[in-house]
Amino acid sequence: MSRARSTVAARTTIPKLREAALEAYRSREPVNKDLVEVPDFDAVLDWAGPRTEDLGGEPGSDAWYFHQVGDWAVMGDLGVLLARDLDAIQRMSAALEGELVAAAIDSAFEYAFFASYVGGKLKRRLLLENQEFETEGLPIQAERGRPTVDFDEDEANRIWTHYGLPTFEYDPLEGPFFLLELRRTDG
């Protein structure tokens, strides 16, 4: 698998996803008003890395990247913080129409996460963390014929790509990407 990252996707536009995310992740304030556009994911890494606390940035620093994949607007981070705030994901889902999916993978810690929400209501959540497996909600179509107990990074990736979203096995290739620097206000 590729580097650690978490992603959230909804069938919407980048501006609408950005607006919903800023409203939902209440403990973050944008540093830059306008999104910074870069051509490829290498530029995302160069820009976001120094602006992400978990990657050596200043305390409280965070960065999100956005890109459009067909009719899906996708946002992600390199510190795997997006996926850890289930309340914020739920609030985003309530603010956007249709299904919202979220996934995260961190191979260094054998961490895998997938969730699906519609209208602010959880449809499915799968989590593997510290060799503990948790599940909530009913299986979704992407799980058909697969044993839930086998949920891991590869399975999170397979479910995520079932939606036509880019694999976690390598960095996304299709640009452009749009970047937002943030400051966490939760201490």
Q: Which of 115, 86, 126, 106 is nearest to 9 (CA)?
A: 115
> How many Cβ atoms are within 10 Å of 110's Cβ, its own excluded?
13
In this structure, the chain runs to a length of: 187
Q: Which of 163, 153, 139 is nearest to 83 (CA)?
A: 153
Can you read off the two tokens belonging to residue 59? 């305390």
Residue 183, pLDDT score: 95
Residue 32, pLDDT > 80, answer yes
Torsions phi, psi of 130, nearest 5? 50, 40
Residue 1, pLDDT score: 44
> For residue 45, how far is the Cα from the chain centroid?
15
DSSP label at residue 20:
H
Residue 109, pLDDT score: 85
Residue 187, pLDDT score: 58
Can you read off the two tokens belonging to residue 55? 């990657």
Can you read off the two tokens belonging to residue 54? 């978990």
Residue 3, pLDDT score: 66
Tell me the pLDDT tens digit for each residue of 1-27: 456 789 999 999 999 999 999 999 999
Residue type, 113: F
Tell me the pLDDT tens digit for each residue of 84-127: 899 999 999 999 999 999 999 988 888 999 999 999 999 999 99
Residue 148, pLDDT > 50, answer yes
Where residue 136 falls among pLDDT bands split at 50, 70, 90?
A: very high
Residue 2, pLDDT score: 56
Whole-angstrom Cα distance, residue 177 to residue 187?
A: 29
Residue type, 185: T
- The number of C-alpha atoms within 13 Å of 142 and in the hemisphere containing its C-beta is 20
- Cα-only R_g, the chain: 15
The residues, ordered by sequence, that sit 6+ positions from 46 with a Cβ below 8 Å of its Cβ are none
Whole-angstrom Cα distance, residue 128 to residue 173?
A: 27
Tell me the pLDDT tens digit for each residue of 33-79: 899 999 999 999 999 999 999 889 999 999 999 999 999 999 999 88
